[in-house]
Amino acid sequence: MSGTRRLTVAQALVEFLASQHSERDGREQRLFAGCFGIFGHGNVAGMGEALRAAADRLPYHMARNEQSMVHIASGYAKHSNRLSTFACTSSIGPGATNMVTGAATATVNRLPVLLLPGDLFASRVAPPVLQQQESAGGPDVSANDAFRPVSRFWDRINRPDQLPGSLLEAMRVLTDPAETGAVTLALPQDVQTEAFDYPAELFERRVWHVARPVPEPAMLARAAEVVRGARRPLLVAGGGVIYAEATDALRALVEATGIPVAETYAGKGAMPYDHPSALGAIGVTGTDGANAMARQADVVVGVGTRWADFATASHSIFANPEVRFVNLNVAPVDAFKHAAVPLVADAREGLEALAGALAGWAVDGQWQEAAAAHNRDWDQRVERVYRAGHGPLPSQGEVIGAVNDAAEPRDVVVCAAGSMPADLHKLWRTRDPKQFHLEYGNSCMGYEIPGAIGIRMADPSREVFAMVGDAGYLMNPGELVTAVAEGIRIIVVLVQNHGYASIGSLSEASGNGRFGTRFRYGTDGGDDRVLPVDLAANAASLGARVLAPKTVGELADALKEAREGDGPVVVHVETDPLQYVTIGGAWWDVAVAEVSDSESVRRARADYERSKQDQRHYL
């Protein structure tokens, strides 16, 4: 195609996005399934016009909160193994800054999302415009500069001819598995509407290959040598195993060598829960077996993990003084962590290459048998938690058991913050690599409902169960309205325990007696009377179908009933906030006051200092 097309910047952008595709392993898909948005004066005319005119080529979806629409895009991208996502358009000012938390969440989790906040007039004729900050940084700084530290690529399109180059760079970053995250293109509202003669080839169908880099032979040889020398190796599977669709390769390596596997939050599902080499969750919220074997391991092979503090128990879980790391990761920044032998490669390519390089070698039989015994023991403990029969209110562990029973192997559970992620990490029996969807890079309260919408949009053949605490729900229930409007069935399991149970127990552990963590009368939650809050009625008022089981038996029936009909269903269940899942777990570094007038804080500080002694650098 030659020649030019005279289009506004917004029209050119939308036409371009509609023609982008990604490809991996020969499979192509649209890079953008559509565009979510909320209009305001900063985007209604420019972007609004372009999106209306191109709605058949780039479907438009209305959101109710800008942060949520970015979470929808993240949920979609995570479920799609980062091969496809949404664009998100907002106005300037609060509409834009509402997206900053969504951007941070996407970037921490290395998930591609394209953010298109409106921006101040480039012409600057009549400042300050509505919502303009008038930053001390000068007139070329706007609220959108707040996206810079939470974006992997950031640009402001001040002239129409800047658009093509910036778009190509944006697509490169979005489709690069090592660099991906939020990409922000700030769009001054006048520039959105300016026409320009764009080269027609800008709008041709373009396919972005998502790379599977192979390991460098010299580093592969070194990695294999280290693993072959191991007596007690442990493999830790992170999200990269799942994004790279490397679970079959992982299983082949594990079955050939007998190396036991533990899983991070993002990596849970890399192995089926009942595989004899599967130790389940590792770290702060880990299983006894994974943590016991981590303490002894002499070689730790991290695959597709960014080694967040939850996985390493704040650098305390790998306690063998001789421990060495081999990190297989597509991102060099992760491959080099813990002074590892860095194997910079795609997880699937790397695991296959490693299996080849380890041919004929296997782990000592006792170490293998120890893993199998841990697997069996842990599952019996899970069974006891699932069937605890606690009363009068059910425990959270029983709620997880009921949801796990109700979920088909391909169904998805999604969660993000509160006490639930910890319990799910330990207790959920994962049967499919895409079954466990935890946003735990940012652990952002309010991700659960929009995240579930994104997952369901990515794969309507799977039922999606969003596990959300009462406080997480309160922070962000509005996207239920979007699910109602679009007939998107998600099953929200709303766990009412009247406050921040998770932070409450952290508060207690740091000597602060649950100060400011319970939803009660008064300012600090110190009054014992529960508030007359009815979140079931709230969900019903937003148009969701609501079920309110009181017992675990009723919950099981409600979860069956929830699978029928269109639109969102909220299953409201009250649990006992003090009925903890006490099994598993390890230390987490949460600093405690060094001096205090409180005896309980001083005791907590003494405990803290003892635990700190187990913390180390991996050099």
Ligand X SMILES: Cc1ncc(C[n+]2csc(CCOP(=O)(O)OP(=O)(O)O)c2C)c(N)n1
Residue 574: CB minimum distance to ligand X, A: 12
Q: Retrieve residue 483's tokens.
A: 């699910």
Q: What's the longest Cα–Cα distance across the chain? A: 78
Say if residue 617 is exposed, middle or buried (CB neighbours under 10 Å; 0-12, 13-18, 19+). exposed
Q: Is residue 418 a contact point for ligand X (CB under 6 A)?
A: yes
Q: Which of residues 469-488 bind Mg ion (CB under 5 A)?
A: 469-471
- Select 417 or 427, whichever has its Cβ closest to Mg ion: 417
Q: Which stretch, 360-368, 442-450, 530-538, 593-601, contacts ligand X (CB under 6 A)?
A: 442-450
Q: Is residue 452 a contact point for ligand X (CB under 6 A)?
A: no
CA angle 19, 25, 29 (to 5 degrees): 25
User: Going by C-beta distance under 8 Å and a sequence separation of 6 or more, which residues neighbour residue 528?
Assistant: 520
CB–CB of 466/456 below 8 Å? Answer: no
- Alpha-carbon gap, residue 519 to 362, rounded angstroms: 54
Q: Which of residues 254-273 bind ligand X (CB under 6 A)?
A: none
Strand 464-469, strand 113-119: pairing? unpaired
Choose among ligand X, Mg ion, none what residue 503 binds, the Cβ cut-off being 5 to 8 Å by kind: ligand X
Q: Is residue 69 a contact point for ligand X (CB under 6 A)?
A: no
CB–CB of 512/591 below 8 Å? Answer: no
In 3-state terms, what secondary structure has residue 448?
Answer: helix
Q: Is residue 417 a contact point for ligand X (CB under 6 A)?
A: yes
Q: Which of residues 357-386 bind ligand X (CB under 6 A)?
A: none
- Select 164 or 516, whichever has its Cβ closest to ligand X: 516
Q: Which of residues 444-473 bind Mg ion (CB under 5 A)?
A: 469-471
- Select 33 or 284, whichever has its Cβ closest to ligand X: 284
Residue 80: CB minimum distance to Mg ion, A: 30
CA 354 to chain centre: 28
Choose among Mg ion, ligand X, none what residue 444 binds, the Cβ cut-off being 5 to 8 Å by kind: ligand X
User: Going by C-beta distance under 8 Å and a sequence separation of 6 or more, which residues neighbour residue 35?
Assistant: 14, 17, 51, 58, 59, 60, 61, 86, 87, 88, 89, 116
> Which residue's C-beta sits nearest to Mg ion?
469
Q: Is residue 420 a contact point for ligand X (CB under 6 A)?
A: yes
Residue 497: CB minimum distance to Mg ion, A: 4
- Alpha-carbon gap, residue 118 to 240, rounded angstroms: 33
Q: Which of residues 494-523 bind ligand X (CB under 6 A)?
A: 497, 500-503
CB–CB of 151/117 below 8 Å? Answer: no
Choose among ligand X, Mg ion, none what residue 314 binds, the Cβ cut-off being 5 to 8 Å by kind: none
Q: Is residue 289 a contact point for ligand X (CB under 6 A)?
A: no
CB–CB of 247/277 below 8 Å? Answer: no
Q: Which of 67, 175, 277, 443 binds ligand X (CB under 6 A)?
A: 443
Choose among Mg ion, ligand X, none what residue 502 binds, the Cβ cut-off being 5 to 8 Å by kind: ligand X
Choose among Mg ion, ligand X, none what residue 443 binds, the Cβ cut-off being 5 to 8 Å by kind: ligand X
**β partners of residue 518:** 499
- Alpha-carbon gap, residue 544 to 34, rounded angstroms: 24
Q: Is residue 445 a contact point for ligand X (CB under 6 A)?
A: yes
Choose among Mg ion, ligand X, none what residue 472 binds, the Cβ cut-off being 5 to 8 Å by kind: ligand X
- Select 329 or 443, whichever has its Cβ closest to ligand X: 443
Choose among ligand X, Mg ion, none what residue 329 binds, the Cβ cut-off being 5 to 8 Å by kind: none
CA 50 to chain centre: 31
User: Going by C-beta distance under 8 Å and a sequence separation of 6 or more, which residues neighbour residue 423?
Assistant: 285, 396, 397, 400, 581
- Select 112 or 472, whichever has its Cβ closest to ligand X: 472
Q: Which of 254, 278, 299, 471 binds ligand X (CB under 6 A)?
A: 471
Q: Is residue 65 a contact point for ligand X (CB under 6 A)?
A: no
Strand 299-303, strand 324-329: pairing? parallel
**Site for ligand X (CB under 6 A): how many residues?**
16
Whether the ω angle into residue 94 lies within 30 degrees of 0, i.e. cis, is no
- Select 340 or 422, whichever has its Cβ closest to ligand X: 422
Q: Which of residues 186-205 bind ligand X (CB under 6 A)?
A: none
Residue 548: CB minimum distance to Mg ion, A: 16
Say if residue 218 is exposed, middle or buried (CB neighbours under 10 Å; 0-12, 13-18, 19+). exposed
Residue 468: CB minimum distance to ligand X, A: 6
> Which residue's C-beta sits nearest to ligand X?
469
Q: Which of residues 49-78 bind Mg ion (CB under 5 A)?
A: none
Choose among ligand X, Mg ion, none what residue 35 binds, the Cβ cut-off being 5 to 8 Å by kind: none
Strands (E), 391-533: 412-415, 436-438, 464-469, 491-496
Q: Which stretch, 47-55, 197-205, 439-447, 557-565, contacts ligand X (CB under 6 A)?
A: 439-447
CB–CB of 129/91 below 8 Å? Answer: no
User: Going by C-beta distance under 8 Å and a sequence separation of 6 or more, which residues neighbour residue 23?
Assistant: 29, 207, 208, 209, 210
Residue 168: CB minimum distance to Mg ion, A: 45
Q: Which of 8, 80, 482, 497 binds Mg ion (CB under 5 A)?
A: 497
- Alpha-carbon gap, residue 300 to 307, rounded angstroms: 12
Residue 524: CB minimum distance to ligand X, A: 14
CA distances from 468 to 78, 114, 401, 493, 574 (A): 18, 26, 15, 6, 12
Residue 297: CB minimum distance to ligand X, A: 30
**Site for Mg ion (CB under 5 A): how many residues?**
5
Specify the residue for token string 């109710």. Answer: 64
H helix or E strand, kind and range, residue 30:
strand 27-30
C-alpha gyration radius of the chain? 25
Choose among ligand X, Mg ion, none what residue 372 binds, the Cβ cut-off being 5 to 8 Å by kind: none
Residue 443: CB minimum distance to ligand X, A: 5
Q: Is residue 66 a contact point for ligand X (CB under 6 A)?
A: no
Residue 422: CB minimum distance to ligand X, A: 9
- Select 454 or 472, whichever has its Cβ closest to ligand X: 472
Residue 219: CB minimum distance to ligand X, A: 37
**Where does this chain bind Mg ion (CB under 5 A)?**
469-471, 497, 501
**Where does this chain bind ligand X (CB under 6 A)?**
417-420, 443-445, 469-472, 497, 500-503
